[in-house]
Amino acid sequence: MQDISTAPSWLAEEELSWVRERVPLVCVDAVPVRLDHLGQIEKVGLLLRALPDETVSRAIVTGRILRGETVREALWRHLTKDLGPDCDPQLPASITPFTVVEYFPDPHRTGFHDPRQHMVSLAYVVPVNGECRPAEDALDFAWLTVEEVTSRAVATEMSQGHDRVIRHALASCRQLP
């Protein structure tokens, strides 16, 4: 697949803060997975990130869609930015998300939380075939089995409701244990 790059078309930090206070942002969530030969999920990939509140959390790949960027381009950009250029994501043939997640500054509103903004995110399960290594602001990346990623221990290491996004992703693929 060709390298998809978009022209810088985002806002300065003070402008972005102004927008975040007034308008929901449109984003993508990607749950990276490894599949077996029958297309069943064997592993789910999680990033380890430092959050703005100075805590560390496991997370899925997520990020804004830029002005003029398609959903498909945004998925590709965020996956290759966070998992490295050799991750080889296999974008879905259909751009229909498995769910839509609404993140709010109020953690009690939906259980999906982003303290900075109201965010509407289209969520996808994306098979990844290549070598993954943490990039950008990620501290680490790990592949976990379906049993591990749905365990209480891993759920407590996640924030923003990403543990619930993963459970929705697995359920949409009929693979929730």
| pLDDT tens profile 143-177 | 999 999 999 999 999 999 999 999 999 999 999 98
Q: Percent of the chain at pLDDT above 90?
A: 72
| pLDDT tens profile 31-83 | 999 999 999 999 999 999 987 778 899 999 999 999 899 999 999 999 999 99
Q: Nearest-CA neighbor of 85 among 34, 131, 48, 124?
A: 131
Q: How far apart are CA 88 and CA 35, in angstroms?
A: 13
For the chain, domains (ranges, CATH) are 20-172 (3.90.79.10)
| pLDDT tens profile 74-128 | 999 999 999 999 999 999 889 999 999 999 999 899 999 988 889 999 999 999 9
Phi then psi dihedrals of residue 149, to 5 deg: -70, -25
Tally of CB atoms within 10 A around 93: 6
Q: How far apart are CA 95 and CA 46, in angstroms?
A: 22
CB neighbours of 5 closer than 8 A, spacing ≥ 6?
Answer: 77
Would you mind telling me the total number of residues written for the chain in this entry? 177
Q: How far apart are CA 34 and CA 49, in angstroms?
A: 21
DSSP class of 161: T
Phi then psi dihedrals of residue 37, to 5 deg: -65, -15
* Tokens coding 137: 């602001």
CB neighbours of 108 closer than 8 A, spacing ≥ 6?
Answer: none
Using the structure block, give the residue that is written with the tokens 């991750």.
87
